Structure 1
Amino acid sequence: MRVRCLHCGFVRAKNTTRQVEHLAGCQEFLSSTEGQQALANGDLVLTPAEVKPGGSDIWRGSAPNPNLAGVVHRRGPNKSRQSTGANATPARPAAPKPSLASHLVTKLSAALAEATQKSFLSHAGCGTLSAAALKQWLAQEIHISRALVPFVGSLIGKVRIPETSNLTSDPTYRAIDLLCSAVNNMKKELEFLESTKRKYDLRVDMEEPQPATQGFIDLLASASSPDSSLLEGLVILWATEHCFRVSFQYAGNFKSTMPASSSYQLPSYLNPSAPSSTMYSTSEKRADAQHIAALHEAFIQNWTSANFVRFVSACKSIVDEVANAQTTGNGKTEMTACERRFKQAIAMWGQIWPEVDGMGEEEERAEAGANGSGEKPIEIDDDADADGAADSPYGGTGLGAIDAHNRESVSAQ
């Protein structure tokens, strides 16, 4: 902490103020070319011995040295070394928490797009879907909506709320808060389906679950069984609601492409078989157009509404919170199970839509199943990857990297 003058060899404490004062009185320095230049530029002032009476009080400590302004950064006893001004070092931003849900969507983005961008949905948005196709889908959708209620109830039974000083911030408590809201929402959804059928006179026949529908119901039961973790069940819940949202948002994209109706009337000789008073008229609706109104005014609106989008976002957040709390081992087992469940949900979701032709009519099945129902055989890969690896979006393998991320966040604070 000491320095030596390169000109006279004087040793002093390392201090910028003392350095300038010494150089102002160092004859060896003043006689050098560098010293003469400093005097000519006004960078140095006279030493105290050469101060004239009545002169400046700089060297008596009564006034600051103006030549040191901008050179010496003084700080008082109550000021910290880190200034809060413009030159202050910005605080290190908190690292974003890893997202298991985002990883799943990214890894299976192609399969998700294929399952949620069906011709059934594009025809539904364009208004060209047949009433028979809609009623067939609605009959199967009711089975899934009913199965979701006991599924969520089983997930609630898995929750074990720990003893904690801040209960509302605990992931498991927040999970049960979401699950209670989900049960209430699913009860309202069942009422919504029934009221929509009555309002738009949709006479849906009671049907047994088709193989794809039954497969989805079995997946809900498997994900809520005692052998499955709470995190797996939450992934299936979020995947189901996410698929609802993405599917009907895709259908809603086609609503703006519908041809606008017109009251313009053609001369009767251009179409003698049709009365000119009814051609292109908006005052009368076709008798079978009620199902299109139900699609546009009820179903698409319900599963793309702002409240539903917020609910799906809440499901995603809970999945990430519970995943971040999983620090058992390296988390490879949890990661593999979640990827398998998400893959199963997407595979089953893509098969619940009725096949329609280019006119929006239901297609006849070319191949009949073993039971003669005409359904396509269900294909689903419920095995993990062949190499057993589950690449983590956080670096490394499995959810164990979350623990390292959390430790890094704590050390940064």
Structure 2
Amino acid sequence: MRVRCHYCGYVRAKNTTRQVEHLAGCRDFLASTEGQQALANGDLMTPGEANPNGTDIWRGGAPNPNLAGVNPRKGPKQARQSTGSMQTPARPNAQKPSLASHLVTRLSAALTEATQKPFLSHAGCGTLSAAALNQWLAQEIHISRALVPFVGSLIGKVRIPETSSLTSDSTYRAIDLLCSAVNNMKKELEFLESTKRKYNLRVDIEEPHPATQGFIDLLASASSPQSSLLEGLVVLWATEHCFCVSFQYAGNFMSTMPASSSYQLPSYLNPAASSSNMYSGGDKNADNPHITALHDAFIQNWTSANFVRFVSACKSIVDEVANAQTTGNGKTEMTACERRFRQAIAMWGQIWPEVDGMGEEEPADDEVNGSGEKPIEIDDDVDAEGAADSPYGGLGAIAAHNRESISAQ
């Protein structure tokens, strides 16, 4: 950190300013030919009085040609190993915790069991009976109807604060999502009714089964005054997430079915001749309109791109509201959210009709209880471990989420 003057031997700090100050007053240097030349060129002026015609070598503004081949720290100059910028990489922003991801990870086994039922695999393969589909649809309509007042009660919990940026406030974004959810659920009821008429599905009016009633009671409990807004949002997202994952599982069986037969036909069986063939099938599901409804309406609706984005928007709002909370007992809130998510999964896994290996509805087991229904099982131990006519459009929250997802891609 110190240098010695070659002319007078004076030791000084290794600093450009000190160098200029010393050389400007060093008699031995000024008496030398090199010093006289530096004075004539104006190189010994202070930086504020720099001569625009000078070389700036003595002030450190340009490299000294006599030292070009020497690296003062590493000896002889060596080739640089990297030609890139030596800037220090920016420190990545800390990722915010995700409550939704935590819940899915913690209860992944229960979620898989609830959303991968034989009913769904038969639905994707096209082997589900009409009776089984009609029974499920009769119960699903009860849940779709209960979702409307459920979301309405969640809207009643929202209190929008005074803020300078309303659109970036998590509470405002939550009510934006809830308003779009009510609109979607209204359209979903219309979608279910129109699909029944279009495919002539004979859905009887039934009372809610115990599992269905349990799900409806869960919606009422999660939206009650005793429950927080975050708990209600977790149940909303859990319901839509289960819809999406379940029918994506069913759709996987559709993609594995062969698109066409591998048999080759004789050349004389042209399209005109085959039209009168007694084995000509025409529409592959002409005799099974309920299978056509499953493949062309229900599975397509609950796996469409718009619905997937809607579910993803629900997940994002859950995380936003959870991260925005700075008061209260975080452990108590986390425990309540885990309990709600666990209950939603348990109820969801029991709403599917039991089917046998042929996709037919299994008879009720009369030994379980007098009504012939299976008992509801809920693990409530809190300490344990698209279609073109899809009803899902979007309002502000979904549109913003779509823009973020598209820009991220």
User: Which bin holds the TM-score, normalised by the shorter protein?
Assistant: 0.7 to 0.9
Pairs within 5 Å for 1:290-309: 290-309=289-308
Structure 2 Cα separation of the partners of residues 301 and 193 of structure 1 = 13
1:50 alignment partner AA: S
Q: Is the 8 A contact 2:248 2:303 kept in 1?
A: yes
The corresponding residue for 2:31 is: 49
The corresponding residue for 2:85 is: 86
Q: Is the 8 A contact 1:161 1:173 kept in 2?
A: yes
CA offsets 1:198-236 (integer angstroms, 9 cap, x no match): 000001000111111111001000100111000000000
Structure 1 Cα separation of the partners of residues 110 and 361 of structure 2 = 23
Q: Is the 8 A contact 2:285 2:292 kept in 1?
A: no
Structure 1 Cα separation of the partners of residues 258 and 352 of structure 2 = 25
Structure 2 Cα separation of the partners of residues 344 and 247 of structure 1 = 17
Q: Is the 8 A contact 1:368 1:376 kept in 2?
A: no
1:376 alignment partner AA: K
Matched, 1:64 2:62: no
Structure 1 pair 323–60 and aligned structure 2 pair: CA distance change class (3 A): same
Q: Is the 8 A contact 2:5 2:11 kept in 1?
A: no
The corresponding residue for 1:328 is: 327
**Secondary structure of the corresponding residue to residue 213 of structure 1:** helix
Q: Is the 8 A contact 2:235 2:340 kept in 1?
A: yes
TM-score by length of 2: 0.76
Task: Report the CA distance between 1:163 and its aligned residue.
Answer: 1.3
CA offsets 1:127-157 (integer angstroms, 9 cap, x no match): 1111111111100000000000000011011
Structure 2 Cα separation of the partners of residues 134 and 21 of structure 1 = 94
Percent identical residues: 78
Structure 2 Cα separation of the partners of residues 297 and 136 of structure 1 = 19
Structure 2 Cα separation of the partners of residues 367 and 162 of structure 1 = 55
**Secondary structure of the corresponding residue to residue 250 of structure 1:** helix
The corresponding residue for 1:122 is: 121
What is the aligned length? 344
Task: Report the CA distance between 1:265 and its aligned residue.
Answer: 7.8
TM-score by length of 1: 0.75
Pairs within 5 Å for 1:3-14: 3=2, 5=4, 10-14=10-14
Q: Is the 8 A contact 1:118 1:353 kept in 2?
A: yes
Structure 2 Cα separation of the partners of residues 115 and 303 of structure 1 = 16
Structure 1 pair 67–349 and aligned structure 2 pair: CA distance change class (3 A): same
The corresponding residue for 2:382 is: 384
The corresponding residue for 1:366 is: 365
The corresponding residue for 2:140 is: 141
Matched, 1:15 2:7: no
Answer with 362-371 or 324-333: which moved more.
362-371
Structure 2 Cα separation of the partners of residues 245 and 366 of structure 1 = 30
The corresponding residue for 1:314 is: 313
Task: Report the CA distance between 1:60 and its aligned residue.
Answer: 3.6
Pairs within 5 Å for 1:66-215: 66-68=62-64, 86-215=85-214
Structure 2 Cα separation of the partners of residues 232 and 208 of structure 1 = 27
Task: Report the CA distance between 1:282 and its aligned residue.
Answer: 2.8
The corresponding residue for 1:80 is: none
1:278 alignment partner AA: M
Structure 1 pair 368–184 and aligned structure 2 pair: CA distance change class (3 A): farther
Q: Is the 8 A contact 1:17 1:68 kept in 2?
A: no
Structure 2 Cα separation of the partners of residues 243 and 329 of structure 1 = 29
CA offsets 1:342-369 (integer angstroms, 9 cap, x no match): 0110111011111111111111233444
Q: Is the 8 A contact 1:121 1:251 kept in 2?
A: yes
CA offsets 1:3-55 (integer angstroms, 9 cap, x no match): 575998845344157569979x99xxxxxxxxxxxxxxxxxxx9553225668
Q: Is the 8 A contact 1:131 1:288 kept in 2?
A: no
CA offsets 1:390-411 (integer angstroms, 9 cap, x no match): 9xxxxxxxxxxxxxxxxxxxxx
CA offsets 1:306-361 (integer angstroms, 9 cap, x no match): 11111111111110111011222450110000011001101110111111111111
Structure 1 Cα separation of the partners of residues 135 and 4 of structure 2 = 95
Structure 2 Cα separation of the partners of residues 121 and 94 of structure 1 = 41
Task: Report the CA distance between 1:103 and its aligned residue.
Answer: 0.7
Structure 1 pair 306–314 and aligned structure 2 pair: CA distance change class (3 A): same
Structure 2 Cα separation of the partners of residues 4 and 260 of structure 1 = 83
Structure 2 Cα separation of the partners of residues 237 and 228 of structure 1 = 13
Structure 2 Cα separation of the partners of residues 304 and 176 of structure 1 = 24
Structure 2 Cα separation of the partners of residues 151 and 131 of structure 1 = 30
Q: Is the 8 A contact 2:285 2:291 kept in 1?
A: no
**Secondary structure of the corresponding residue to residue 168 of structure 1:** coil
Task: Report the CA distance between 1:383 and its aligned residue.
Answer: 3.5
Aligned-CA RMSD value: 3.2
Task: Report the CA distance between 1:370 and its aligned residue.
Answer: 2.9
**Secondary structure of the corresponding residue to residue 12 of structure 1:** strand
1:292 alignment partner AA: I
Query: Which runs of 5 or more residues in structure 2 are unaligned?
Result: 46-53, 72-83, 267-275, 386-409
Q: Is the 8 A contact 1:127 1:258 kept in 2?
A: no
Structure 2 Cα separation of the partners of residues 257 and 277 of structure 1 = 28
Task: Report the CA distance between 1:257 and its aligned residue.
Answer: 2.2
The corresponding residue for 1:224 is: 223
The corresponding residue for 2:373 is: 375
**Secondary structure of the corresponding residue to residue 12 of structure 2:** strand
Matched, 1:278 2:260: no
**Secondary structure of the corresponding residue to residue 120 of structure 2:** helix
